[in-house]
Structure 1
Amino acid sequence: MSADALSIPHAVADAMRQELPDVAEQTVAAIVVEVPSYAGAFSGAMGRTIENAVELALGGFLVLASAGGDGDASTPIQPALDGAYALGRGEARSGRSMDALLGAYRVGARVSWRHMADSGVRAGLTAEQLARFAELVFAYIDQLSAASVAGHSDELATSGRVRERYLERLANRLLGGGPREDLLAAAERADWTPPRTLTAVLLPAARVRGAVALLDPRTLRSTEEVPGELVVLLVPDAEGRSRPALLRSLGEREAVVGPARPWHEVAGSYARAVRAVDLGLTAEGPEPLDTEDRLADLVLRADEGALADLRAQALAPLADLADGAREKLTETLRCWLLHHGRRDAVAAELFVHPQTVRYRMGQLRELYGKRLEDPRTVLELTIALGVAPPSNRRP
């Protein structure tokens, strides 16, 4: 049969079009009953807006169905497609999945078909035209559903990228520090709830994906450039008893972990971790470098030049000795300071006889004189010998 025979006569279409407001109203009423999540969304002014949208979509269909073969009635005209696409995006922005909307389409197709079919029969449609009409109606609804699904997916993708950029900007703001009020505003824009604390973690870019999968989902990633091509992660609430779990999660990932700080003061944690990297501190195994275990190194090497000058000044009395003698006396002096002069403890650590310790300390007292009894000299020697120079560090 020709397309003309299967199209809706213009007179029939006009009669059906007059009933569209009632059809749209009954369609929305049925959706509210059968899709409970729309009961609130379709009330009041919004309900009237949806009714108008349904009437527009069905009116567009009738235009195509009565076109006498000039168009495919199963393909929605552009305004209806645009409306369906926008409806899908709106659902995503409202935080709803497509389940409710697709359910609404199914209910709407059934209800609108029943009422439009009744109108068509009263207006004189043949059985064959009515069957074809049913095919076109449901194909038309499928096209509208597909447009809404596309809108929903596009909105999720867009909003996801936008939020990701906001989160990155928030991480960068946190690393730079600033007034708490400004940081709170940035957190609100990113839809990110501030935790109690944040811990800065530096690790190679290649290790980030695997680490993030094991960390708190609220973890932030900064786009700030760190020497050594490292990436900065800000991990929430990893203090106290939670810190060991963080360190285990980062095992063998070449990470450097700063201290936990109040979330708006995480810039201090970041600065500590960067300082550890700048000083070349390394972990003593596959575990991450925990800066909390290296505080003495960080303090004593805060100014490498000043530490070198202090070491040279404090050890000046030993400068003219032969290398071997200077090394023995330096190590003995270090142990004597660490063990607060307990001769047996010094001897045990050096694996020598206590008399040897007594002899060496006699030599040191000859070189330093009464300065070994001066608290300030003792402090300077303790600092100078507390961290061995990098080139002489023992394994």
Structure 2
Amino acid sequence: MDDDAHDPLVTPALQLGDDLLARLRDAVPQVADEAVAAIEDGIPSYADLRGRAGQMLREAVVLALGHFLTLASHNANAAMPVARSTSAAYDLGRGEARSGRSMDALLAAYRIGARVSWRGLSRVAADGGLPAAAMGGFAELVFAYIDELTAASVAGHTDELETTGRVRERYLERLARLLVAGSGEESLTDAASRAAWDPPQTLTAVALPATHVAGALPHLDPRTLHVSGDLPGLDDDTAILLVPEARGTGRAALRRVLEGRRATIGPARPWLRVHDSLTRTVRGLTLPRGRSQTVDLDDRLVDLVLGADPAALADLRAQVLAPLADLRPATRSGLEATLRSWLLHQGRRADVAAELHVHPQTVRYRMGQVREAYGDSLDDPAIVLALTIALGAPATAERR
């Protein structure tokens, strides 16, 4: 089947004589001025197109009308101006996308321009004696031509958004990786500029399963960065979010968004130092979660401190608990638990008994055994501090 049968721009000859075609071409400048004026009056976003911008719009309209008349004359080389027109329309659509504008204004401009151009050209065509039958074909060609330009602009707008989106995503990912790597200020500010990313005052590193990222992102600050895969200390199933301004009410909102997503929330840090937040977040992944699926490390600072050097903590425990080392395991365990509670409750026997679910007399008896083992050293602040730290880990473990 002939492909031309489906081409909306292929029409029967419009019987435009040389004289009428010349008159139409002479009318193009005035018709273009009328179209531009109508566009500026009818579309607010084009109302301030004065100077060079307004001149460029007029030149585009003149060019499109000139190409249209070449097509309307049914010249054997009509495909060339049509291709140039659609190419220009495609670039116009891309330009609108780069300017951050939607296609709405441009589509409205096409509609207004088509209406005004048809009114002006048809007036000249009628005055030039174009037959009524040919006038219908003339109108059909005008609006088919506009449809072609519109489609080309939409394609250009879409392609630019997709291209720009992909390029920006790459820049944002590069920025995120530089941040988690702890790169220098110059590299980070340059990467932020390239990504058109407005730096917040603080960023908070959040680790969570990669499968939960898509569900969380729509509820977070649009500037939130995310990265996954090939991250030191993390497996490929874990993603990192860098969330802006997660302090105060912002942190409470972040916790609500992440509830149930098995996230680990690090501390807020100046955005250039978010690597510090990430370091703590990675350490926090080792903490037991208990019933809580999401862990806010601001609430687990004691656990983090006690777990900073497990070997040192084990040595400390062995050292300060040596007076109890020779007791039977069950007795030793009871005395350690009682001593821990006694230290935390500052010697309040009733509170210790309530925590351990024993009689106050049992607390008194056990502490008598402890004092017998430690002697006067329990009155030494340094020993008390060491015992509190050494016994802190089991206490936090029981609370998990």
TM-score w.r.t. the length of structure 2 is: 0.86
Show the 5 A alignment for 1:72-111: 77-111=82-116
Of 141-150 and 28-37, more deviation after overlay is shown by 28-37
| Correspondence for 1:8 among 12, 16, 27 | 16
Instruction: Report what 2:148 is aligned to.
Output: 143
Instruction: Report what 1:238 is aligned to.
Output: 246
Secondary structure of the structure 2 residue equivalent to 1:200: strand
Instruction: Report what 1:349 is aligned to.
Output: 355
Supply the AA of the counterpart residue of 1:360: R
Show the 5 A alignment for 1:157-306: 157-180=162-185, 182-223=187-228, 225=231, 227-228=234-235, 229-277=237-285, 280-306=286-312
Show the 5 A alignment for 1:108-147: 108-147=113-152
Supply the AA of the counterpart residue of 2:143: F
Structure 1, residues 357-385: CA drift from partner, whole Å, max 9, x if none? 44433433443344333322222221111
Structure 1, residues 44-79: CA drift from partner, whole Å, max 9, x if none? 2222222222222222222222236x4778x96111
Equivalent residues, number: 388
| Correspondence for 2:55 among 44, 48, 51 | 48
User: Are the aligned partners of 1:76 and 1:140 in contact in 2 as well (CA < 8 Å)?
Assistant: no
User: Are the aligned partners of 2:70 and 2:81 in contact in 1 as well (CA < 8 Å)?
Assistant: no
**Residue 338 of structure 2 corresponds to residue 332 of structure 1:** yes
Secondary structure of the structure 2 residue equivalent to 1:306: helix
User: Are the aligned partners of 2:203 and 2:274 in contact in 1 as well (CA < 8 Å)?
Assistant: yes
Instruction: Report what 2:158 is aligned to.
Output: 153
Structure 1, residues 294-351: CA drift from partner, whole Å, max 9, x if none? 1111001101111112112222232222222222222222223223334444344334
Shift in Å, 1:241: 3.0
Structure 1, residues 195-227: CA drift from partner, whole Å, max 9, x if none? 343222211111111222222333222346362
TM-score w.r.t. the length of structure 1 is: 0.87
**Distance (Å, rounded) in 2 between the aligned partners of 1:221 and 1:18:** 59
User: Are the aligned partners of 2:224 and 2:241 in contact in 1 as well (CA < 8 Å)?
Assistant: yes
**Distance (Å, rounded) in 2 between the aligned partners of 1:3 and 1:102:** 25
**Distance (Å, rounded) in 1 between the aligned partners of 2:153 and 2:212:** 38
Aligned CA RMSD, in angstroms, stands at 2.9
> Structure 2: where are the runs of 5+ without partners?
1-9
Identity of aligned residues (%): 56
**Distance (Å, rounded) in 1 between the aligned partners of 2:258 and 2:351:** 38
